[in-house]
Each structure stands twice: as C-alpha cells, then as structure tokens.
Amino acid sequence: MIGPLSFFSEVEDPRIDRTKAHDLQHIIAIALMAVICGCETWEEIEEFGEMAEEWLTKTLYLINGIPSHDTFNRVLSRIDPLQMEKSFLKWTQNVVQLTAGEVVAFDGKTIRGSTEKGKKPFVHMVSAWAGLHNMVLGQVKVDDKSNEITAIPQLLQLLVLKGCIVTIDAMGCQKEIAAAIIDKGADYVLALKGNQTGLHEQVKESFATFKSEAVSQTLDCDHGRIETRTCSVLTDFWMIENKNSWKNLNTLVRLDSVRIIKATGVEQRETRYYITSLLPDPKKIAHAVRSHWGIENSLHWCLDVGFSEDASQKSAGHAARNFSLLNRIALNLIKANPHKRLGIKSRRKKAGWDRNYLLKLLKDSRVIG
C-alpha cells in the first residue's frame, strides 16, 4: 500500500512564515503516527513525539525538536479540512481499485464531543466504506443547517464507483440520490422507512398481494443467536405510483429476519423493505444488504471503541473534523495489516509499545519511505 503522507504535500500551511518553527508535513506525520499508537489528545501526541524523538529523527528533519501540544492543536485546528479530505481521497483512490459488484456503503456519524454548548453544533460526517477492501474511501461534512441528504450527493460525485453497488439507509432513499448513483455507473440498494411513507406502504402492499418471484435464505448461528434471513424479490410495479421517477428501479425487496437468542430462547422478528436497480437476484441483493452493516461494525464501532472518537472533546476550529480524518487514515493502515489475535485497540497499543511493529505498519504502507 502506498502511504498517505505524500498526498498531503499540497495542503496549505495556515501559519504566517515567522511562526513556522516546525514543518507542516512533520506535524501531520507525527500526529498520524501518534494516533496509530493510541494517542487521543494533543498532550499525548506531544508526549509520543518526545518519547520517540530519537527514533523520529532518523526519518524526519526535526531542526526545532518536537512541536508542543499547543502547536499540534493550533495547526490541526486551522488547516483547511477540505484540502485534507481531498488529499485523503487522492490516496484512497490510488490504493483501492474497486471491482465490479463490490458493495460501497454510505452512512453518517456524529462526533459527539465536537460541540461547544451554545456556540456550535455537532460535527456530522458522511463516509463511504468499501467492505471488501476494509477501508474508508472518503468523507464529507454535513452542513450545519442541513442533513445527510445534501452531503451524500457531494460524496458520490467525488468517488469512482462504476460497477459498484451503493447501499444507503432510509435517510438517503431519495429520487435525486438514486439518479446520481446511476449516473456514476453504479447500482443502488436503498432502505425504505417512514421518510418515504407512500412508497414504503406501496412496496409492503405489493408483497402482501403478489407472490414473490424468487427467494433466498441464509442461516447464521454466530454471536449467541440463531438467525434466519429470507430475501424475497418482486418486479411487479402495478401498485407503485410514480415508478419511473426512480431511475432504473428494477426490483422491490423484502427481507425477513427471525432471530432466536440461544441463552434465553427469545424469538425476535423483523421485516425490512428496499428498492434497488439490481435485477431480481435475491442472493446478490441479500449480500449487499448484509454488507451495508459493515460500515457500522467495521468503521463506526471501531472509531468509537478503538479510537474513543465520541469521547473526544476537540471543538476548536476544524480540530474535530481534521482529527476524525487522522483516525480514519490510522484505521485504514491498521486494517491493511491484519493480526490474528489482536483487535484495533490492542494493535494501537502494540504499535506504541513495539517500534518494530509500528515500523512495519509505516513501511508496509510507505508512510515514511
């Protein structure tokens, strides 16, 4: 994997010349290494730099030593996050070659500690997740007075998605978003809920009225439960009003889940509905729906549990947004080097304890050459 730092060379330094005691690329590099090693505050990043200074000087020209925690805070709070995200996108597009039929999940996440009471709202980011590659492809911020409906098309336009299957939860079930996905040469699987009340009821009634044309069933016995998932598909749109306003709508989908908790025997049932541009292949559609949850389990859960992102209290300037990007870069690098026994948080600790392991992560990804 080609490391990300070479792609950040075009990020503009927000400081005036007389205050540039430390090179911007070195500040970003040390911050990223520190985050990989488990650091979550500006003070911890400074401490990491001081403890690793002798090692760092072998690859970085630190003429003025290690920046202070205030410097890390000031600089990363002021860097233009659009430039950071553009550089991140260039990196991921360079190292990830999406394949035909690959599922790319879009979903939003609020950074809970990013607000200042009475001064600014939470920072809410929409990310795209490639489950097969186990990587974040890109992210955009939801405007303060808007929602994911406006952010998703922005992220779609930035990505190369030809041949992929884009999955989005009910918030993104919009005609304009469906059309934007098709225009990118991809297919969509969109969840249906109350935000599309009429369509949701029409799809539900269609399955109650007509016999499913094909069905696929899977059985999962992991995580202390037995779960049967049945995916049924229809291509009869007789009950669907304004069907043609949904670009390339080909299939209606019902997914029935029956879950039995092994320890208690309690049975849980759930039925969900989707629309998709895919042809009526229930096995393929069920796989896409199942893959969508990877963005929750492999990205959002990892960021909260492995990186303590929700507990972070960075609210000044662009700090929360830029630090969230460092977290995602670090997560991509760590996931690119799997470990049989250790989870994300333990691998971060191992990188902090073991310079050889950190060097392996960095060299394998060519972060420092």
* pLDDT tens readout for residues 103-161: 999 999 988 766 665 566 778 899 999 999 999 999 999 987 678 899 999 999 999 99
CA distance 137 to 358: 23
Q: What is the pLDDT of residues 270-301, one digit of tens each?
A: 999 999 999 999 999 999 999 998 899 899 99
Strand order in the sheet with 165-168: 135-141, 123-130, 103-111, 165-168, 187-192, 267-276, 251-261, 225-234, 214-220
Q: What is the pLDDT of residues 238-257, one digit of tens each?
A: 999 999 999 999 999 999 99
Packed helices 24-36 and 42-51: angle between N→C axes, nearest 10 degrees: 100
CA distance 117 to 297: 30
Higher pLDDT, 4 or 268: 268
Backbone angles phi, psi at 124, to 5 degrees: -125, 120
Residue 361: pLDDT band (50, 70, 90) is confident
Q: What is the pLDDT of residues 302-319, one digit of tens each?
A: 999 999 988 887 878 899
pLDDT value of residue 364: 55
* pLDDT of 363 over the 90 cut: no
pLDDT value of residue 97: 87
Q: DSSP code of 274?
A: E
Question: In this structure, which amino acid lies at residue 337?
Answer: N
Q: What is the pLDDT of residues 167-197, one digit of tens each?
A: 999 999 999 999 999 999 999 999 998 778 8
